[in-house]
Structure 1
């Protein structure tokens, strides 16, 4: 399973947004805002998520929500093999090691989703891409790491 790292933006249809309310911790919201200094399609897509997300204190985020530095098990639609990845800040990203940047199309699409939901984005070749969030295997907040 490979994830495109170009700056294509996630699918932004209003029906996709209406079906999936994103939940972000207040700390993630502040930290991610600092990564949006340089204008780009990736920054615009992330800004859309930040603008529309429901914000909660770190101590109150549900344990099934994809937060920054969470590890999650995902599977491509129609593929039985799942893969574990981590959602990280751009300077920590290494797709070969499964560390996916929040500024990548797939990273932005995953941010704030819950286990059981699907991340949808447009791949660089124009095709629609989908990943099922099967489980959150580690979430810093659920482990008591509220400032991670």
Structure 2
């Protein structure tokens, strides 16, 4: 796997994600990978967040370079049940991979029993 880019996580996102991961009785492969990503993250407050960084609740336009498909999804804690918006959970492989990346960053993310996701961040819009 290629070297992972630096990631930046808002302190409040880190706190909520850490608490969420602690409550997981049986950690999934993705939850364990997310915990490792949080361990290596640089924690920042909103004023020091580098521009174009993927945070929780941001709208992310990204490309899966494995199949050339592009997506625009909101990174959420859990997927809304009403399906009113295109979302990706931070506990899904793509969601965990996106957290903390910046526009232009690429990451290779392993998938269980498959190859890997190759994601590139194109654009990020933060929630108000």
TM-score (norm 1): 0.73
Instruction: Give the 3 Å change call, closer, same or farther, for CA 120–96 of structure 1 in structure 2.
Output: farther
For the pair 1:117 / 2:90, whether they are aligned, the reply is: no
Structure 2 segments unaligned to the other structure (5+ residues) = none
For the pair 1:70 / 2:55, whether they are aligned, the reply is: no
For 2:33 and 2:51, the matched residues in 1 are separated by 25
Provide the aligned length of Structure 1 versus Structure 2.
124
Aligned position for 2:30: 42
3-state secondary structure, aligned to 1:106:
helix
Matches of residues 1-148 of structure 1 in structure 2 within 5 Å?
A: 13=1, 15-17=2-4, 20-36=5-21, 37-38=23-24, 39-40=26-27, 41-77=29-65, 79=68, 82-92=70-80, 97-136=85-124, 138-140=125-127, 145=128
1:44 is displaced (CA, Å) by 1.1
For 1:76 and 1:129, the matched residues in 2 are separated by 7
TM-score (norm 2): 0.83
Structure 1 segments unaligned to the other structure (5+ residues) = 1-12
For 1:69 and 1:93, the matched residues in 2 are separated by 16
More strand per residue: 2
For 2:79 and 2:72, the matched residues in 1 are separated by 19
Aligned position for 1:8: none
3-state secondary structure, aligned to 1:59:
helix
